[in-house]
């Protein structure tokens, strides 16, 4: 917080411009309804059947930016956070909003417990070689 010559306080840096707090972008939410916690490597993909997000007045500029980035190429949650210079928690909430309103869908990574064991794969390869 800075003060001007007359003692009034400002909630912005003159060089950076106004600062929007992360909780303001998410309206104070830390999670979005019906959305499980998103992994950093979960891939966000824009839905192909959606119209121009800028025409939807219920979306914030950050929502529109996420949809636009994901239309160009699918992005991980971590990539979106980096590209938009937003905290991961904010991006998770915004992506959850977009999933709920069907602007995007999320492809989650396969949990390590569900991946096949390496020894099984080696046995399959050896069996195929034996044929």
Tens of each residue's pLDDT in the chain, 131 residues = 445 555 555 555 555 555 566 666 666 666 666 556 788 888 999 888 777 777 777 788 888 889 999 988 999 999 998 998 888 888 888 888 888 888 888 888 777 677 777 888 888 899 999 98
CA dihedral 33, 38, 43, 48 (to 10 degrees): 0
Residue whose entry in the numeric block shows the structure tokens 């979106």: 80
How high is the pLDDT of residue 79? Answer: 93
Indicate the pTM of the whole model.
0.65
How high is the pLDDT of residue 21? Answer: 66
Dihedral sign (CA 63, 65, 68, 69): negative
């Amino acid at each position: 917080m800075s003060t001007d010559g007359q003692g009034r306080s400002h909630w912005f840096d003159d060089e950076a411009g106004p600062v929007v707090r992360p909780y303001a972008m998410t309206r104070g939410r830390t999670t979005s309804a019906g959305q499980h916690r998103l992994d950093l490597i979960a891939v966000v993909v824009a839905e192909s059947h959606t119209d121009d997000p800028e025409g939807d007045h219920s979306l914030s500029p950050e929502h529109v930016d996420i949809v636009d980035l994901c239309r160009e190429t699918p992005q991980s949650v971590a990539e979106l956070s980096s590209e938009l210079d937003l905290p991961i928690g904010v991006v998770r909430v915004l992506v959850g909003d977009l999933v709920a309103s069907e602007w995007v869908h999320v492809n989650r990574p396969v949990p390590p417990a569900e991946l096949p064991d390496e020894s099984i794969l080696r046995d399959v390869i050896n069996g195929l070689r034996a044929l």
